[in-house]
Structure 1
Amino acid sequence: MTSGLDWRGRVGDIWAAEWRRTDRSLADLSRHLNAAIAAVAPEQGLALDIGSGAGATSLALHAARPGLCVTGVDLSPDLVTVAQGRAADEGGGADEAHLRFRCDDAIRLAAREGPFDLFVSRHGVMFFPDSVAAFRGLRQAATDDAAFVFSCFDERGHNGFATLADAVIGHTPPTPAGYEPGPFAFADSHRVADWLEQAGWAPGAAARLSFEYVVGAGEDPVADAIAFLSRIGPAARAIAAATPDERDRIVKALGRALSDYRVEDRVVLPASAWIWRAHARGGAG
């Protein structure tokens, strides 16, 4: 489980250092998510990007709706610093009133600075300790016609970065009996719809999306993929915990497995995610 403290510390630091490769891995998904966001985003008002990471979704939303005031919020100071730097470099000279990034808890910031007209997230909602309470907090900080668009991973078995790591390590983690924050916490669409409804949101039909998860590229894409997966994801955790001999075995097996997914100068793993659209329902719940 990745806790808030992890994102504020070691995990957040690694994701900040790897932001270019993580953005690359999710680029195919992001195209679809950004289109879904743009389809409901107002021209003006307030938007909050939950778990904004290195800022890709906030930057895309700002480009599509320059009159909208977009705030990206993340627990990791290093990721927020990266996002702020990208906004300065890529954001078209946006002033802080229309694009800004804050290191804070998303629910507390929403309560303090709302009501918001739009909530968005690229894979940032799966780590709340209590998803219903988090969704309810967002609803209470929303306008009565607010929209909510977010993505989350589908089942573990539909995502090659996890199944490949399981095969290489020789162990598949058991499915949690109940809710447990983490990458696959929102895999069950029926359960997520129920959480949204309990919290005062009216969920639309979730769209299941198969996408290309690019883990390696360049002159030696397999080596690039090994470097990336040795830093982020289930293989990284196993490598970090292994003895030197076991670590060497895992890395070699990882390289052999990744070679099967090389397509010219890229290594592409199959992946699957949900894109959710919801709207505020009635008064704040």
Structure 2
Amino acid sequence: MTSGQDWQGRVGDVWAAEWQRTERSFADLARSLDAAIASVAPDRGQALDIGSGAGSTSLALQAVRPGLRITGVDLSPELVALAGNRAGDVTGARPRFLCGDAIAVADGEGPFDLFVSRHGVMFFDDPVVAFRALRLAASDAAAMVFSCFDARERNAFATVADTAVGASPGPETGYTPGPFAFADQYRVADWLEQAGWQPDSAAQIAFDYVAGQGDDPIEDALSFLSRIGPAARAMAASPADRMRIGDALRIALAPYQIGDRIVLPASAWIWRASANRSA
């Protein structure tokens, strides 16, 4: 499990260092998510980007809604600094990026007219409590759009890593924050309703997760997956484990090479919800 403390330290630092390759891996999904956000985003008011990372979702939204005041919040100081630097290169309206807890920012600076997140909500300690806090910080006409991973078995970046590591993850019991914590659409809908949101839609999106690219895409993918994702922690255990898992990953990745890219099939949900005025 990745904790908030991890995002404030080691994990956040790695994601900041690897931001270009992580952006590449999510680029196909980002197009669908950005379009979904734009379809409900108001021209004016306030928007909060939860777990804003390198800032791409906030920047994409600002580009189509220059009159919207956008705040991105992330636990990682390195990612926040990176997002701020990227925003500094933009001409015109710019999002601002804060380091801290998104729920605390929502509580202190609401009401917000829009909440967005690209794979940030999956790390809520308690989804109902968090969504309820966002609802309390929302305007009556507020909307929320977020993405989250579908089931583990529909995401080859995870199953390929599991095969290479020799892991056989069992079914999830209870709730644990993490990449696949929001995979069950019925459970997510229940959380939203308990928290005072009206679930409007949940679209299952298949996308290309580009793990490697270039003259030697397998080695590029191996380098990336050794730092980001399920194989990374196992590969860090010892030099022997790193070599063993690396060799297994090369074999497992080969069937996914398309030209100069390693394209892993992936699946996510894009949720749209609106403030329940009777809540």
TM-score w.r.t. structure 1 length?
0.96
Q: Tell me if the contact between 2:206 and 2:265 (Cα under 8 Å) persists in the aligned partners.
A: yes
Residue 131 of structure 1, CA deviation: 0.5
Q: CA RMSD in A?
A: 0.9
Find 1:264's aligned residue among 255, 259, 264: 259
Residue 219 of structure 1, CA deviation: 1.2
Give the match for residue 224 of structure 1. Answer: 220
Deviations 1:11-61 (A, max 9, x none): 000000000000100000000000000000000100000000000000000
1:215 counterpart = 2:214: no
What amino acid maps onto 2:215 in structure 1?
Answer: E
1:141 counterpart = 2:137: yes
Give ranges in structure 1 of 5+ residues lacking alignment: none
Looking at structure 2, the residues matched to 55 and 198 of structure 1 have their Cα atoms a distance apart, in angstroms, of 30
Looking at structure 2, the residues matched to 110 and 92 of structure 1 have their Cα atoms a distance apart, in angstroms, of 27
What amino acid maps onto 2:218 in structure 1?
Answer: V
Find 2:271's aligned residue among 272, 276, 283: 276
Find 1:125's aligned residue among 121, 127, 131: 121
My pick for the range that moved more, 129-138 or 246-255, is: 246-255
- SS of 2:122 mapped into structure 1: coil
Residue 104 of structure 1, CA deviation: 1.0
Give ranges in structure 2 of 5+ residues lacking alignment: none
1:180 counterpart = 2:176: yes
Residue 80 of structure 1, CA deviation: 0.3
1:114 counterpart = 2:110: yes
User: How many percent identity over aligned positions?
Assistant: 67
- SS of 2:125 mapped into structure 1: coil
Deviations 1:214-237 (A, max 9, x none): 000111111110010000101111
- SS of 1:16 mapped into structure 2: helix
Deviations 1:204-259 (A, max 9, x none): 12000000000001111111100100001011111012x32222111011112111
- SS of 1:112 mapped into structure 2: helix
Give the match for residue 68 of structure 1. Answer: 68
1:254 counterpart = 2:249: yes
Looking at structure 1, the residues matched to 247 and 11 of structure 2 have their Cα atoms a distance apart, in angstroms, of 24
Aligned residues: 279
Give the match for residue 51 of structure 2. Answer: 51
- SS of 1:211 mapped into structure 2: strand
Give the match for residue 86 of structure 2. Answer: 86
Within 5 Å, give how 1:13-52 maps onto structure 2. Answer: 13-52=13-52
- SS of 1:178 mapped into structure 2: coil
Give the match for residue 105 of structure 1. Answer: 101
What amino acid maps onto 2:91 in structure 1?
Answer: G
1:162 counterpart = 2:161: no
